[in-house]
Amino acid sequence: MEPAERNPSALNLDGGESVSLGRLLVAFLKIGSIGFGGGMAVIALMEQEFVRKRRLIPLDEFVHSVGLGQVLGSFAVNVAIFIGYRLFGVTGALLSAGAFLAPSIALVIILSDLYFRYHALPALQSAVTGLAPVVIALILGAGWSIGRKVLRSWLALLIGIGALLAGVAKLNTVWILLAAGAAGFLLSVRSGDPGRPDQSPKMPRDCAANLWSLALPAVAPISKLIVTFLKIGLVFFGGGFVLVPVLHDRLVADLGWLKPQEFLDGVAISNLTPGPIAVLATFAGYHMAGTIGALAATLALFAPGVILMLAISQQYGRFRDDQRAQRFLAGVNPAVAGLILSAALSLGWSTLVTWHQYLFMGLSLFLLLRLRWHPAFVLVIGAASGYVGLLP
């Protein structure tokens, strides 16, 4: 297995198939196109694609990325950054995040243009309704896949159950993971493999400065928009729906950039697209300054989380084999499994209201886990079923 610095065109970290940067970006583009249902649904798709199918990254590193990605920003985007960085460095991290977000951003821009032209939502809600049972099945499948590998002791099981209950109770995710990490010091862990090379490419120190110097002339005319969303990005903790009231207070109550009804319609449009609900920033930016404003607002909102996750990804190879870090992460692993399952339970209770939906969720779980169908096919079936009215 070649280190990243020597063979940047074909890499893997877990003895699976090799992949080029182009194929990695195509995979993220595909996930970004079908990732309906929010962060945990996307995590389920990534786990299936990069851990189970392609074996590009070990399960433990993937679970660590989910835990570490909860700190700031969209954790689905953060996981994409982590995977891209572990395989292809800063370039891979930024391009992976961009490929993952591109379908959602493009669709929000299109829907925003239609909305502000005609002041009506596109008739897509019925098709999206049919996706809910499939999305919940995807999340349950990921929770099962991860849980059976990390819940191997009674203490790990207790941590997982505690995280599940805390997640259902809507406690802050960061505090849940910190508590689980502290409990991890009671778990026994295997020592890291000192012979395993750190394959993370190094971050060029002047990369961010060069990018900023090139971008500054273009962003100057919309600096207020950028500064506003940059400040919001600095408090983007706890996932997309936590961001909604923050955006409402700032964009509707304080600045008056959006009317209350426009904001609600923007939330609805964001939910009609794959990817994170944080693309609500794209909707607001488009309203203020067109396509350029949409892109600027989105980049500004995600920038703090991206920078922090790049730093975490760069240092991961150094602290991964530290005994204290191993014990902390050993506690995080079962907590992540519990949080994934709690997301499935919470979404199920709030979105599945008919026996048809529960039946289709069970069928989707069978197709995904037993018959190993690709999620895209099951999602298409769900969307078609909702569109024709089979899943009221």
Cα angle, residue 101 at apex, residues 44 and 346 outer, rounded to 5°:
40
Report which of 69, 87, 75, 74 is spatially closest to residue 24, judged by C-alpha positions. 87
Q: What is the CA radius of gyration of the chain?
A: 21
Q: Distance between CA 374 and CA 99 in Å, rounded?
A: 20
- pLDDT, residue 1, reads 35
For residue range 151-174, list pLDDT tens digits in order. 878 888 898 899 889 888 878 776
Angle of the 223-233 helix axis to the 280-319 helix axis, nearest 10: 50
Mean pLDDT of 26-53: 84
Residue type for 165, please? L
* Global confidence as pTM: 0.69
Q: Are residues 286 and 293 in contact, defined by beta-carbon separation less than 8 angstroms?
A: yes
Residue 75 has pLDDT above 70, yes or no: yes
For residue range 180-227, list pLDDT tens digits in order. 888 887 766 554 444 444 454 554 444 544 544 544 454 455 788 899
Of 218 and 92, more confident = 92
Q: Which residues contact 330 (CB under 8 A, 6 or more apart)?
A: 156, 184, 187, 189
- pLDDT, residue 13, reads 56
Lookup result for tokens 């991890």: 184
Q: Are residues 84 and 11 in contact, defined by beta-carbon separation less than 8 angstroms?
A: no
Residue 12 has pLDDT above 50, yes or no: yes
- pLDDT, residue 212, reads 44
Q: Which residues contact 161 (CB under 8 A, 6 or more apart)?
A: 338
- pLDDT, residue 197, reads 44
Q: Distance between CA 330 and CA 389 in Å, rounded?
A: 45
Q: Are residues 240 and 37 in contact, defined by beta-carbon separation less than 8 angstroms?
A: no
Residue 6 has pLDDT above 50, yes or no: no
Distances from the Cα of 260 to the Cαs of 91, 245, 253, 263, 280, in angstroms?
A: 39, 12, 9, 5, 14
Residue 364 has pLDDT above 90, yes or no: no
How many helices and strands (H and E) does the chain possess?
A: 16, 0
